């Protein structure tokens, strides 16, 4: 729009050089739009910046009055930061500052150094014409600045959303077991410390269950690790269904799982543990070529006030191995 208006003005005024210059500028912007569409943002910016510099200086050298076109040099500042940021240019901030300094130097040259009467054409510009061009150019620059700022903020928000999403994904990977989808040992160790602190402050009881699949190595050796993974995933699914929303379930590692039963006494914890054991015992695990049954041994320990996590775990671990030695497929408190 700007160049079309200047082209019309220069044609009517008989300023052929300025008219030709604007035709070149309009052709260049068609090319720049093509580059932007191809995501060649860095090249597009440098082309746009050079065009703005060239055109501003050209108007000043061709005419005695720049008709306020030096205002467009201000646009180079947000334009450089926006395009170089979106293009992910290395060292984009120093490069943007350099472009801004060049634009400032050009502005100061046109406004304060270039002497009147040194232009190629000396045309009479009326006050009304000067006002019209001034308001027109100021309005375009103003809305240009608003647009660049809005786009820049939008781009930053998109980047923040992306990084937030990536951080969530990384956090999920760091705290979850990839095979079963359960939270992992790292996540458990953070949770158990909070649970102990909460129990100490509120007096609420909780039970810790250590669940180990019986003879799981034999399953892997006989049917292969792929079928072993099926058993792990199915047991994880059973445990999910049999725990309450306020309970916490984790894959400890290998063939072991742990559960924190919150706000529960020993009797109810024993009932929950026995239901889990019985459910797994009756479950038919459908492997790739056959169906098998598996059992688990569960070591259970009620938290005692003042007890450390290591002591709690050792109690459950001792109970679990006691059950292994006494025939497996049982719950030991």
Residues with catalytic annotation?
255
Longest dimension (CA), the chain: 109
Give dist(CA 307, CA 315) in Å, integer: 11
Integer Cα distance of 124 and 121 in angstroms? 10
* Sequential DSSP letters for 94-161: HHHHHHHHHHHHHHHIIIIISPTT-SS------HHHHHHHHHHHHHHHHHHHHHHHHHHHHHHHHHHH
Contact criterion met (CB below 8 Å) for 240 and 295: no
d(CA 333, CA 43): 71
Structure-token match 């059992």, residue found: 295
Residue 187 has phi, psi (to 5 degrees) of -65, -40
Residues 6 or more apart in contact with residue 279 via CB below 8 angstroms: 238, 242
Q: CA 230 to CA 194: how far, in whole Å?
A: 32
Query: CA dihedral in degrees (90, 91, 95, 96; nearest 10)?
Result: 100
């Amino acid at each position: 729009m700007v160049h079309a208006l200047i082209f019309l003005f220069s044609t009517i005024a008989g300023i052929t050089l300025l008219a030709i210059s604007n035709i070149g500028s309009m052709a260049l912007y068609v090319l720049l739009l093509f580059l932007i569409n191809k995501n060649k943002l860095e090249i597009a910016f440098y082309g746009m910046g050079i065009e703005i510099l060239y055109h501003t200086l050209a108007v000043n050298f061709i005419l005695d009055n720049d008709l306020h076109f030096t205002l467009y040099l201000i646009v180079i500042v947000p334009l450089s930061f926006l395009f170089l940021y979106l293009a992910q240019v290395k060292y984009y901030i120093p490069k943007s500052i350099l472009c801004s300094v060049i634009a400032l130097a050009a502005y100061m040259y046109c406004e304060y150094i270039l002497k009147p009467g040194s232009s190629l054409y000396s045309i009479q510009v009326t006050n009304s014409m000067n006002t019209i061009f001034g308001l027109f150019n100021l309005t375009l620059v103003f809305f240009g600045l608003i647009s660049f700022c809005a786009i820049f903020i939008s781009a930053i928000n998109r980047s923040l959303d992306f990084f937030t999403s990536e951080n969530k994904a990384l956090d999920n990977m760091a705290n979850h077991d990839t095979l079963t989808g359960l939270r992992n040992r790292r996540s458990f160790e953070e949770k158990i410390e909070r649970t102990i602190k909460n129990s100490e402050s509120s007096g609420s009881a909780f039970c810790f269950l250590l669940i180990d699949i019986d003879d799981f190595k034999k399953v892997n050796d006989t049917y292969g690790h792929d079928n072993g993974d099926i058993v792990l995933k199915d047991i994880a699914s059973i445990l999910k269904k049999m725990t309450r929303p306020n309970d916490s379930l984790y894959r400890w590692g290998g063939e072991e799982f742990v559960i924190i039963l919150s706000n529960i006494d020993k009797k109810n914890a024993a009932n929950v543990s026995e239901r889990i054991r019985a459910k797994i015992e009756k479950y038919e695990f459908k492997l790739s070529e056959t169906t098998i049954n598996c059992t688990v041994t569960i070591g259970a320990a009620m938290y005692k006030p003042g007890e450390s996590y290591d002591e709690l775990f050792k109690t459950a671990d001792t109970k679990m191995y006691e059950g292994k030695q006494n025939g497996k497929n049982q719950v030991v408190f």
